[in-house]
Homo-oligomer: A and B are copies of this chain.
Amino acid sequence: MALADADGIESLSMRKLAAALDITAMSLYYHLKDKEDLLDGMLDIVHSEFATPSAGDEWRAAMRKRAGSTRSVLAQHPWAISMKARTSPGPATLGHLDSVIGCLTAAGFSMAMTGHAMSILDSYVLGFAQQEASLPLDPSGDIGDATEAIMAQQEAMADSFKNLAAMAVSLILQPGYALGNEFDFGLELILDGLEVALLSDSVSLSQ
């Protein structure tokens, strides 16, 4: 994982991993079935780093914490993002999901509504992490260094893509703009929506 964080997942080879461990490539195959097996294990470790709700947590706070930690963990291990859509989950992955379901049902969510909530939250956070990872931002989230590169394309865009150009100058290039702010907006919007859905859900159940 240190190698993948430093040089990118595509440059992690069995030979390089072995060299970092002072053994040869083939020795790895005593411990691992194949490279897939290695990646599955790495992904499960990533899942173990996500904040997991404890029994009794208030659901909104728990989901906020989970979303935030997921985002920051995935920012630290960007290679995990595209792998998250991987079949064959490990124990950490399953345990994490289990706690989330427990938290939501304890808060009064029906099983169907729990499924809805997890689907929308997970999709949002995963998608956001992926978009965030694709931007040439420094870790602060500030647009910083990229500004000049964008300004260079600015003239070419002004003709063909007027709206895009307008957004660039009046929003994205403004000092203080950071994609991180967008994350909270969307997350709160979703949590608000879920709260409403939760209310009508429990009403319909109690009738």
List A residues at the B interface (Cβ < 8 Å).
81-82, 84-87, 91, 94-95, 97-99, 101-102, 105, 111-112, 114-116, 119-120, 122-128, 130-131, 133-134, 136, 157, 160-164, 166-167, 170-172, 179, 182-183, 185-186, 189-190, 192-194, 197
Given contacts A114-B167, A136-B87, contact A194 B189 (CB under 8 A): yes
With CB as the reference atom, state the residue of chain B lying closest to A106: B163
Residues from chain B with a CB closer than 8 A to the CB of A126 are 126-127, 130-131
Tell me the smallest distance from the CB of A156 to a CB of chain B, in Å: 10
With CB as the reference atom, state the residue of chain B lying closest to A112: B171
Instruction: For A127, give its contact among B123, B133, B157 (CB under 8 Å).
Output: B123
Tell me the smallest distance from the CB of A118 to a CB of chain B, in Å: 9
A85 to B130, CA, bound (A): 6
Tell me the smallest distance from the CB of A16 to a CB of chain B, in Å: 19
Residues from chain B with a CB closer than 8 A to the CB of A189 are 120, 190, 193-194, 197
Copies in the complex: 2
Residues from chain B with a CB closer than 8 A to the CB of A130 are 82, 84-85, 123, 126-127, 130
Tell me the smallest distance from the CB of A92 to a CB of chain B, in Å: 11
7 A-B pairs with CB atoms under 8 Å apart are: A119-B185, A123-B130, A126-B130, A126-B131, A189-B193, A189-B194, A190-B193
Contact between B111 and A171, CB atoms less than 8 A apart: yes
Residues from chain B with a CB closer than 8 A to the CB of A134 are 84-87
Contact between A182 and B85, CB atoms less than 8 A apart: no
Residues from chain B with a CB closer than 8 A to the CB of A112 are 171
A166 to B104, CA, bound (A): 13
Contact between A116 and B167, CB atoms less than 8 A apart: no
Contact between A133 and B185, CB atoms less than 8 A apart: no
Residues from chain B with a CB closer than 8 A to the CB of A190 are 120, 189-190, 193
Given contacts A115-B167, A123-B186, 11 further A-B contacts (CB under 8 A): A85-B131, A98-B160, A98-B161, A101-B167, A102-B163, A115-B172, A120-B182, A120-B185, A124-B124, A189-B190, A193-B193
